[in-house]
Amino acid sequence: MHPKTVGLIAHTGKRGVGELIRCLADEFAHFKIPILLEKETARVSGQESKLTIAELGNKADLLVVVGGDGTLLNVAGHMGETMPPIFGINVGSLGFLTTVSSPAFREAVDCIASGKMKFSNRALLEVAVGDSKEGPMIALNDAVFSRGELSRLIRLRTRVNGEALTEFNADGLIVATPTGSTAYSLSAGGPILEPESGVFVITPICPHVLTNRSIIVSERSTIEVEATERDYPVYLSVDGRDSVRVNKGVTVRIQKAKKTLRLAAMQDTSFFNVVRQKLKWSGSNL
């Protein structure tokens, strides 16, 4: 892929990001590739733009996101129907999604300009709350059910393709994509899934019944989660965004979204190499 137009989006709270955006703009100019800036990204780099993230997604062939994994999740959540490939540049420690470090920005631009990127097709979750008129939410990582501030277990009746799975009595429940399997689900004891494995994972958070464990289901599945207690509220957060309350009897329906995210990376990037580095798997000395 040789992008004709590149959109730049940055986490504006990161130190030195304004200078990095200006350097990236100069590098793309060297290759005669036009760039478009998200409005807040333009502001911190001393430039002007009125484009939102969604508008940038409609106009650019490729988005370069500068920040961390959370920045990339935020960008994916603000995309409209059009979702161009996203290339992440990490400002800080190595991320699972933003795997190129900021000092290597010249190599990243050269990779993009020469069309030598590799792509990974990442499944997205479509999360619909009851009969909400706001439409479904889109998640790259996960949908998380939690108990809020109350120090009490919640009950979540869960079905897969209309068939009862169980009623989880736990601190919460995570429904994650393979991309999200290395996030909260992993911390809760869930398995690591290869990015294009074609499955989702359901992981309880601190379940009362010790036999409740993570379960892997096909990405073609429809997962339904229902809060079953009236007096204890349940909250739903999608990719870490602001929580919404799920009242008793309301069913949250989770399934694979129609669109997918093409995550771009440099040719030498390997998921298993990133896992080894991020999780500090050094292997045995024996």
pLDDT at 94: 65
pTM reported for the whole predicted model: 0.91
Residue 284 resides in a domain: no
User: CA 180, CA 55: separation in Å to the nearest integer?
Assistant: 26
pLDDT at 232: 83
Determine whether 254 is exposed, middle or buried from the number of CB atoms within 10 Å of its CB (0-12, 13-18, 19+).
buried
171 in the same domain as 84: no
pLDDT at 285: 55
145 in the same domain as 95: no
Instruction: Assign residue 116 the CATH number of its domain.
Output: 3.40.50.10330
pLDDT band at 9 (very low <50, low <70, confident <90, very high): very high
pLDDT at 284: 60
98 in the same domain as 25: yes
Residue 207 resides in a domain: yes
Which sequence positions are flagged as catalytic? 69
Number of structural domains the chain divides into: 2
pLDDT band at 150 (very low <50, low <70, confident <90, very high): confident
Residue 286 resides in a domain: no
Residue 100 resides in a domain: yes
Residue 283 resides in a domain: no
pLDDT at 190: 96
Instruction: Tell me the per-residue pLDDT of 187-216, one tens digit each, with 9 for 90 and over.
Output: 999 999 999 999 999 999 999 988 889 999
Domain that holds residue 40: 6-122+260-278
Rounded average pLDDT over 5-10:
96
Instruction: Assign residue 241 the CATH number of its domain.
Output: 2.60.200.30
Comparing CA positions, the residue from 154, 167, 139, 159 lying closest to residue 237 is: 139
H, E, C per residue of the chain: CCCCCEEEEECCCCCCHHHHHHHHHHHHHHCCCCEEEEHHHHHHCCCCCCECHHHHHHHCCEEEEEECHHHHHHHHHCCCCCCCCEEEEECCCCCCCCCEEHHHHHHHHHHHHCCCCEEEEECCEEEEECCCCCCCEEECCEEEEECCCCCCCEEEEEEECCEEEEEEEECEEEEECCHHHHCHHHHCCCCCCCCCCCEEEEEEECCCCCCCCCEEEECCCCEEEEECCCCCCEEEEECCCCCEEECCCCEEEEEECCCCEEEEECCCCCHHHHHHHHCCCCCCCC
Residue 204 resides in a domain: yes
Question: How distant is the alpha carbon of residue 135 from its chain centre?
Answer: 19
Question: Which amino acid type is present at position 107?
Answer: E
